[in-house]
Every structure is written in structure tokens, then in C-alpha cells.
Amino acid sequence: MTSRCQRGIPPELVDRIIDFLHDQPKALTACSLVARSWTVTSRYHQFSMVALITPRCWGKFNRLIETSPTMLRFVRSVIVDVADTYSPWMSVCASFPSLQHITMNGAVIPPWREEAAAISSVAHNITSFTINFTIVRPPHVWPIVRMFPNLVTLGYGGARCVTTSVPLQLSLPCHSPPISTMSITTTALGGVLEVLYNPPYPLTTLSTLDILDVYLGRGYNFQALAQAYGGQISRLRLYVHGHDQQCTSLGGFQPTLSC
Amino acid sequence: MAVVDSPNYYLSHFTNLRHLAFANLFLIPRGRYKRGGEGESPFVWVNSAIAALRSPITHFTIEILIRQPAQLDAVDWKGIDVLFSTREVFRSLVRVSVVFLGRLEGGGWDPKSIAEPVAVRRLMPLTSMMGLLTVSTRGPKL
């Protein structure tokens, strides 16, 4: 049934109005119940990002998709936390046909080797992949990254890198992703550099890298990164360690705290 | 002055750099560090890093963490002034952004309404920055 409101206001304007509420979940929930025609636009924002970070979240999510499987197509960004138990997150990601951004928290890579093939159906859509609070085994990272042929943004946040000589073997097609933005906000920059320079499937260079967001703290190795990519970086964001951690080490300057 | 084995020195490798941002720049209150040394202001070493640059910067951003309104007075506004007025690499600036990271300690103040006007008032006298400056806040909503 067409409401009087809909006859008066073009749907494009209704969409525009709902767009303004993109960061207000309660308002979007209310909007989605107003009329069928409002539901799609409301859900487009409401489910654009899904955070599966606790067992309770997983439970609620499973119940939600059982009752409303159509919401899967609205998910464009997913945050998964696989810290404690094995989570079939790759299979879950594969169920989101519009998925573009993946953020993975708290896992030991790779706990999900067997499932890697599952994500190949949506791998072409993925443009952003971020690893946070994760124990990273550098030789295992590149095969995962290279599953995403259109990857533009790669992030390491708070990841710990553990050296291992055993490469991850995946029988998947590997591509050289056109990464233009890299964010390394971790103290373990040395380990990340190992990922960059010594992958089991050597990536000659990140020739498309243009934007670098890098953490400057203790024990980093900025030299190799600067020498390798300094000439092509046009945007540099230096993430500085603050004095709260009693360290403000940029350059040779080491401030001394007075008591 | 750039030290050869420091990150400052390696900034000279960024020969194509146009946008430069210092993020998570903690405010260092006056008196926390020994007087007479470089530790007087965080902008001393920001300045040192910029000295190593070899390409003209068009966009420059500093993100300053402010936890309490009183810390606004401790920001080295003069250091920012000197920074922009003396560096050749800033001749081509088209945008300067000061971002206050409004993380709160105990809550109770709105960094957007307090920090932004102060920053605009203190920085706007710089005629060279007229029309270039944007001040914003980022952080949890109150």
C-alpha cells in the first residue's frame, strides 16, 4: 500500500533523509519499521558493519540471519574476533555478497587454513583487510592477503609477529594486490617488514603503495621501509608514541622526564 | 637537525611526499621535561623531523591529544607558529589541519566547543595561514 507520505515525497529524497541517520542505530531501527520502502535504505546503513566479537554476538547474529537472511547483502564491513575458539569466520564472510572490508582481531594466523577456500567467492570484492591484536606468523600472511586480488588497504594494528620457517601452503590462486594504503600501527614493525620482504611467495614490490600510516615507537625499523618506498609515498602519517608510555622517541631526541 | 641513524633522517627518503601528518601527538605539559633541553616542547622534534624533508608539503596535519581543558594552555602555540613561518617546505601549503583527539579523562567537557575556538584564536594571527587552517576534534561523543 502506498502511503500518503510516499506519494508526496520522492523515494530519492526519503533515501537522502535516512542517509543522514547513518550513524544512529536506534533511529534506523525505527525507520525500518515505518514502511517496506524504508526498510531497504535503513538496513543498508544499519547492517553495513557487523561486529562479531563475542560468543553472544555470534549467537545473536546466527539467530538474525535465520529469521532474515536478506540482511546478508547489506553487510559491507565485518569485524571478527577469533581470540579464544576456532570460529568459522571465513565461511561467514563468504555469506556476505557485498563484503568489502574485513577486520580480524585476536587470532593466531592461520587457525582457519582449511576454510580459506570458502572465502574465494567474495575475494574479488575485498578492498580492505586489517589484522588487529593478532599473533602473526609472517610467512602465513601473504597467501591470505594475495587471495584478495583487489585489495587496496592493508592494516596491521597491534599485531605481534612471530617468526616461523614453515610457510602456509594454500592451493588458491594468488594475485599481486594493488595495495595503495598501508597502515602499520604496531610496535612490531620489524616483524611486519619481514612480511613485506620475505614472503614465501615473493611479492617483488608494492609498486602501487601511495599512503603510509606508520607507528613510530621503540624498536622499530623505519630505515628499510623509508628506503624501499620513500620515493613513491605521497601521504605519510606518523603515529607517534606518546609520553604516557614514557617514550617520545622520534629521531635522536630522547626527552628525560623530570621527577 | 637530523640525526643520521634516526627516523628523522629517513624522512629525507620521502622525496614525493605531499601530505604529512603527525598523529597521536601527546601534549607535553610545560615543566614535565628538563629545562634548557630539546624536551621543552614536542614541536622541537616535530620541527627536527620536518627539517629532513626534501619535498614541498601541501597538506599538513597535527593531531594533539587533549585530556583536560587546562592542557590547552600548555600547547606550544608559539612552536607551531615558528614551525610554519620558517620552513621552506611549507611554502606550498594549501591546508593545515589541527585535530584534537578528544579522549576524556573523567568526562565533563566538550572538546569541540572548548578546544576548537582556542586553537582558532591562537593560530589565526598567523597571516600566512589565513584561509588554510581547519580545526576539528575527533573522539568519543559526550
Here the CATH number for the domain that contains residue A64 is 3.80.10
Residues in chain A whose beta carbon is closer than 8 A to a beta carbon of chain B? 213, 216, 220, 222-223, 226-227, 230-244, 248, 250-253, 255-258
A228 and A218 in one domain? yes
Cα nearest neighbour of B59 on chain A = A235
ipTM score over 0.85, yes or no: no
**Distance (Å, rounded) from C-alpha A218 to C-alpha A246?**
11
**Distance (Å, rounded) from C-alpha A195 to C-alpha B71?**
40
Q: Domain range spanning residue A155?
A: 48-240
Answer yes or no: do A256 and B13 touch at CB < 8 A: no
pTM of the model: 0.73
In a domain, A259, yes or no: no
**For the purposes of burial, counting CB atoms within 10 Å of the CB of A48, is it exposed (0-12), middle (13-18) or buried (19 or more)?**
middle
Answer yes or no: do B6 and A226 touch at CB < 8 A: no
In a domain, A108, yes or no: yes
A91 and A16 in one domain? no
Q: Are A126 and A99 in contact (CB under 8 A)?
A: yes
CATH number at residue A20: 1.20.1280
Chain A residues with CB inside 8 Å of B17's CB?
A: 233-236
**Distance (Å, rounded) from C-alpha A110 to C-alpha B24?**
31
In a domain, B105, yes or no: yes
A230 and A188 in one domain? yes
- Which of the two residues, B6 and B24, has the higher pLDDT score? B24
Chain A residues with CB inside 8 Å of B49's CB?
A: 238, 250-251
A105 and A16 in one domain? no
A54 and A179 in one domain? yes
In a domain, B2, yes or no: no
At B29, the pLDDT band (50, 70, 90 cuts) reads very low
CA A240 to chain CA centroid, nearest Å: 22
In a domain, A250, yes or no: no
Per the structure, the count of domains in chain A is 2
Round the average pLDDT of chain A to a whole number and report it: 71
Per the structure, the count of domains in chain B is 1
pLDDT tens readout for residues A86-140: 556 677 788 899 999 988 877 665 545 556 667 777 888 999 988 776 666 655 6
A209 and A158 in one domain? yes
Query: Which of A248, A212, A247, A217 has the alpha carbon at shortest distance from A228?
Result: A212
A142 and A18 in one domain? no
pLDDT tens readout for residues B84-105: 766 777 777 777 787 777 655 5
A168 and A83 in one domain? yes
A123 and A32 in one domain? no
Inform me whether the C-beta atom of residue B78 falls under 8 Å from chain A C-beta atoms. Answer: no
A204 and A224 in one domain? yes
In a domain, A208, yes or no: yes
Query: Which of A171, A120, A168, A167 has the alpha carbon at shortest distance from A147?
Result: A120
What is the nearest CA distance from B59 to chain A, expressed in angstroms?
A: 9
What is the nearest CA distance from B131 to chain A, expressed in angstroms?
A: 22
**Nearest Cβ partner of B19 from A235, A252, A256?**
A235
In a domain, B70, yes or no: yes
Answer yes or no: do A235 and B16 touch at CB < 8 A: no
User: In this structure, what C-alpha cell is assigned to residue A93?
Assistant: 564472510
Answer yes or no: do A251 and B9 touch at CB < 8 A: yes
In a domain, A73, yes or no: yes
A217 and A166 in one domain? yes
Answer yes or no: do A258 and B38 touch at CB < 8 A: no
Answer yes or no: do A231 and B38 touch at CB < 8 A: no
A76 and A12 in one domain? no
Round the average pLDDT of chain B to a whole number and report it: 68
pLDDT tens readout for residues A2-46: 555 556 788 888 889 999 998 888 999 999 999 888 989 999 999
In a domain, B19, yes or no: yes
In a domain, A146, yes or no: yes
What is the nearest CA distance from B135 to chain A, expressed in angstroms?
A: 17
Helix (H, G, I), strand (E, B) or coil at B129: helix
